[in-house]
Amino acid sequence: MSKKRKELKNKKPANRRPDFQASILALLDGGNGKAYSFKQVVQKIGLKKKDDIKVAGQVLDTLYDEGRISQTSSGSYRSTRGEQELTGVVDHVSSRFAYVRIGQDRPDIYVKGNDLGSAVDGDTVSLKLLPGRHGEHEEGRVTKVLKRNRERFVGKVEVSKNFAFVVPDFRKMHTDFFVYPENINNAKTGDKVVIEVTSWATPDKKPEAKIVEVLGKAGENEAEIHSIMAEFDLPFRFPEDVAAASAKIPEGITEEEIGRRRDFRTTTTFTIDPEDAKDFDDAISFKRLENGNYEIGVHIADVTHYVLPNTPVEREAYDRATSVYLVDRTIPMLPERLSNELCSLRPNEDKLTFAAVFELDEHAKIKNEWFGRTIIHSVKRFTYEEAQVVIESGEGILAEELRILNDIAKKFRKERFRKGAVNFETTEVKFKLDAQGKPLAVIPKVRKDAHKLIEEYMLLANKQVATFVYNIRKGKEKNTFVYRTHDFPDPEKVKDFSVFAKQFGHKMNVDENSISSSLNKLMTEIEGKPEQNILEQLAIRTMAKAKYTTDAKGHFGLAFDHYSHFTSPIRRYPDMMVHRLLQHYLDNGNPVSKAEYEEKSVHSSEREKRAADAERASIKYKQVEFMASAEKRAYEGLISGVTEWGIYVEIVETKCEGMVRLADMTDDFYEFDEKNYRITGRKTRKIYTLGDRVQVRVKKTDIDKRIIDLVFAQDQRGRELEEQNEADSW
């Protein structure tokens, strides 16, 4: 660096510092590798004032330190844009282009389809930046695939005489796979198959694969559900060693084991679960105390008594990390011998449990609490519907106990909302299926007091277990624990959501301290209205994602300082970790390895996302299948999304979402207004925006892609009339 440049660098800039970074980068990035001296840079961007020149020098130094520019031996500057290697993950939006997510608060890099090489969606790649830009995004070219996201895909096969090709189901795969005759594996045209890639694409040929499994005929329930399972790499069965190990786990309960536990077998205990549930992992015990308070226990299946560390069952449970609930089946975390038999809190049987027991007054104030292992004997297995009848009528078995428990639960709920919990009452759907799995009806799930009662006691146990462990100290060192955390939402996303809600006539206060109360007010306003499902789903997407972590952060949605998952170890591995850690600290154990449990927490969060994605895919499949055979008529819908290629519409009656493609809107040329969430006709100035009520008809359904194409009913009627008039004229 020259003497003059050093002097300029060391001098303080003016108080009001201009920003010349964009101008300097535009000059150097657009120079195709040309180097410019300091004097040339100053002249090219038109600086004359002494203070501006000082600042420009400092900007150059900063860009050099960041690696965005380099210096030649003569001291001139050039862009490193073409030299800099970045690493990111491919988001393959369409066959024409993709984005590569770099992270580190840096915008995604735009990559043309021809510059992707053999990279596909989800691959980790290195790339170089190119001189061009695509709007706000830098442009790049993939130079190497560092890690493949997957080697297996699911799709439909088309078999010819000398070869076959497979069209993947996955919407972000924009190429088919060539299959040689020897790798067809007896598949027939129209079969759903699992393929394994044998060679990736090159500039002059498609990727190649071999068929490793034939799932069945496309469109059949088993084939489609199996294809979803294969798509998300879900297990079809338990390995033989796991099944064998679970079969050998002793069933009996010894007197020695009972002696190590607090005995609740003479205390009134019962379960409340869905009608079709087979695994009952939580029970409630109830007892009046002489002082007028109530002893209420939350007893959870003691899975870790049966599933020991470093065993085949444990390793498989960790790998799965969660049970997955598809529309017509459950893919359990634990073998059936454990989930439905040994650990399930079935009525009229002695069962081993891990409990959080509370002494509560009539105002729902905690007077005492106790955590530890218990043994119970459930006297009644309620379905939610049965418990609801008892709560509403005040008559039947355990009517008084349910009344008191429900009254206290309502007080817990009211207190949560007072402290800022968000009231998300999402509308979930289930399907009535025939023997072949074909959907006969879409049925919204209704949550009543019986559901909310159980929810409040589970929340209480989860919160108090986390708080208890957090408050235990070994000197200054904190105990490692697995928390369930939920960060504060991104203010920008909340602002965008408020704009969306405004389209339906609802106002929101986006001030940071008012978000919770404003959201709750909105959720109350929309209850029972057509827009309820859309706004609830979008509100959830606006929130940060809950996750498992060893960081003792709070839970925004529940307004808890500390929260864990303790209450479902039959179906969630994090709950098993929580049980083990809680017992470890009850036994005065020292803090365990934070790094080890953080790794397990990250794995569990990833598996949870996989399960949620698979569950959504199975629901979408059944929705598409249902609408394919639904009555051919107009349906009322709400515009739930607007994009540059079409309008998403949620059908009010069935909660199914489809798209009206702009290409099918032939009455005008429509332009996308991203800022205002709408499209506008160029000639007619007709506007379609979020929240608009529309009438739609099903144009086409695609089971393979799980999509529903819609058209506006009035547009279709207009075209039908035109076609009829033309026919009449002939």
Architecture of domain 152-218: Beta Barrel (2.40)
**Based on the number of CB atoms within 10 Å of its own CB, is 150 exposed (0-12), middle (13-18) or buried (19 or more)?**
middle
Tokens of 343: 């650990």
Q: What's the CATH number of domain 630-729, 2.130.10.10, 2.40.50.140, 3.40.50.150, 3.60.20.10?
A: 2.40.50.140
Q: What is the pTM of this model?
A: 0.80
Q: Which amino acid is at 125?
A: V
Helices (H), 155-283: 221-231, 240-247, 255-259
Question: Do the domains 630-729 and 152-218 match in fold?
Answer: yes
The percentage of residues in the chain with a pLDDT greater than 70, rounded to a whole number, is 93
- The dotted CATH code for 3-79 is 1.10.10.10
Tokens of 58: 């400092």
Which neighbouring-strand residues pair with 709?
A: 659, 700
pLDDT (tens digit per residue) in 683-692: 999 999 877 8
Q: Per-domain residue ranges for the chain?
A: 3-79, 85-147, 152-218, 240-318+334-403, 449-614, 630-729
pLDDT (tens digit per residue) in 519-573: 888 888 887 777 777 787 778 778 888 999 999 999 988 989 999 999 999 999 9
pLDDT (tens digit per residue) in 335-355: 999 999 999 999 999 999 999
Q: Quick one: pLDDT at residue 555?
A: 92
Q: In terms of DSSP bridges, do strands 366-377 and 262-263 run parallel, antiparallel, or are they unpaired?
A: parallel
Distances (CA, A) of 311 to 241, 245, 640, 706: 10, 8, 48, 39
Q: Quick one: pLDDT at residue 692?
A: 86
Q: Are 2 and 8 in contact (CB under 8 A)?
A: no
Q: Are 604 and 574 in contact (CB under 8 A)?
A: yes
| Residue for token pair 């032939």 | 666
Per-residue confidence band for 293, with pLDDT thresholds at 50, 70 and 90: very high
Checking if the pLDDT of 717 tops 50, the result is: no
- The dotted CATH code for 85-147 is 2.40.50.140
What mean pLDDT, rounded, does the chain reach? 88
**Based on the number of CB atoms within 10 Å of its own CB, is 576 exposed (0-12), middle (13-18) or buried (19 or more)?**
buried
Q: Are 558 and 496 in contact (CB under 8 A)?
A: no
Instruction: Give the residue with greater pLDDT, 652 vs 455.
Output: 455
Q: Quick one: pLDDT at residue 146?
A: 94
Secondary element (H or E) of residue 579: helix 573-586
End-to-end CA distance of the chain: 85
Checking if the pLDDT of 581 tops 90, the result is: yes
Per-residue confidence band for 674, with pLDDT thresholds at 50, 70 and 90: confident
pLDDT (tens digit per residue) in 42-87: 888 888 888 888 888 888 888 887 777 888 778 888 887 766 688 9
User: What secondary structure does DSSP assign to 491-508, as a single string?
Assistant: HHHHHHHHHHHHTTT---
Closest CA to 408 of 536, 238, 570, 294: 294
- In the chain, what are the helix, strand and coil shares in percent, each to the nearest 5? 35, 30, 35
